Amino acid sequence: MRILVVDDSALYRKLLSDAASSVPGAETVAVSSGELALKRLESEKFDLVLLDVFMEQMSGPQTLEKIKQSHPGLSVVMVSGATGRDAEITISCLSHGAMDFIPKPSGSSFESGMESLQADIRKVATLARLRCASASALQAAPELSAPTTTAPIKRLQPPPFPELVLIGVSTGGPNALSTILPIISAKLPVPILLVQHMPATFTKSLAEQLDKISGLSIKEASNGDIPMPGEVLIAPGGFHLEIFRNDAEKIQTRLTSSPPMQSCRPSVDVLFTSATKCKLRGAIAIILTGMGSDGADGVATLQQTLPTWCIAQDAATCTVYGMPQAIAQRHLSNEILPLQEIGPRINKLFRL
């Protein structure tokens, strides 16, 4: 694996390069500007780009845009601080083609900061390899990219009166959500509850940016919210989002710091499983792009408990075909759709 590090700080170029050396078989090249990165990409092949968000000449977002124009399949990971401004720009980059992001080292311990950075880079290197493997598999077997419908587990038709839309997504989520949510009608008669694997601060910026481009009301969930029709509540980073029926028989949110599930907090499984205890007439469950299998157990529990219709994103349009693949492999999906068809399908399910 060849990794290109792009950062105008000599210190961070060295830190990122040293951390990237922990990836087995990795060869790392470091440059100090977006212009130099583009020149290297013209003449050399790289598998992963680690791109600083803030650079003085050509900024990270500007460099990303040019990379995506000339190398659309290349995996680009933003390197970001955790401030509100950094988070806002990083979420925008994720919505415009960046595969993922990793935080810059922080804290008082250099050793623990480097360990975290090494782990983050190994994770995104694995994601980049998975993307390459998925692309190669689709080229070898193009029928995998065609929209298909699996045999439903429990239902031949969607439930006539679903009360909730539940969405789980991870790597590639901001781009996927930016595609789906603006298409869904503001007249949606039910709430949407959503888990995006993402740290604190970033989920708030994600909600704010999605709210600007959608007719739906989108915000980060708080403890004790009463989800309303046409509203999207996004689980805050670092907390599980659960729902329950309160004394007034209204659905209400609860945030918890219970242990991670599937190494995730927030977890899709936690949200979906909590919905099974709410005596719902029905639910629509949607599993989008992401690494791992979070959400599969939750969908299975939903289908065993209440009328549930499950839509999974297809392999060809996923950034990483992990979470939807887990759904398909367990035959939990009622429909497998490309990303651009999911928003219109939700409208159709609610006759909008």
Residue type present at position 85: R
CATH of 149-349, one of 3.40.50.180, 3.20.20.70, 3.30.930.10, 3.40.50.261: 3.40.50.180
- Cα distances (angstroms) measured from residue 2 to each of 23, 55, 114, 200: 10, 22, 20, 30
Using CB atoms within 10 A of its CB, is residue 91 exposed (0-12), middle (13-18) or buried (19+)? buried
Which entry of 197, 225, 269, 274 is annotated as an active-site residue?
197
CATH topology of domain 2-140: Rossmann fold (3.40.50)
- Residue 294 annotated in active site: yes
Q: Using alpha carbons only, give the angle 267, 247, 234 rounded to the nearest 5 degrees.
A: 25
Structural domain boundaries in the chain: 2-140, 149-349
| Entry pTM | 0.88
Mean pLDDT (the chain, rounded): 91
Q: Which two tokens stand for residue 7?
A: 């950062």
Task: Assess contact for 349 and 341: CB atoms under 8 A.
Answer: no
Please, what is the angle between helix 268-275 and helix 296-305, to 10°?
10
Which entry of 225, 294, 297, 314 is annotated as an active-site residue?
294
Q: Do domains 2-140 and 149-349 have the same CATH topology?
A: yes
Q: How far apart (Å, rounded) are the C-alpha atoms in residues 46 and 27? A: 9
- Residue 170 annotated in active site: yes
Q: Kind and range of the H or E element at 305?
A: helix 296-305
Q: Would you give per-residue pLDDT tens digits along the chain (352 residues)?
A: 999 999 999 999 999 999 999 999 999 999 999 999 999 999 999 999 999 999 988 999 999 999 999 999 999 999 987 666 788 899 999 999 999 999 887 766 778 888 989 999 999 999 888 777 666 665 555 554 444 444 444 457 899 999 999 999 999 999 999 999 999 999 999 999 999 999 888 999 999 999 999 999 999 999 999 999 999 999 999 999 999 999 999 999 999 999 999 899 999 999 999 999 999 999 999 999 999 999 999 999 999 999 999 999 999 999 999 999 999 999 999 999 999 999 999 999 999 9
Which entry of 92, 134, 170, 178 is annotated as an active-site residue?
170
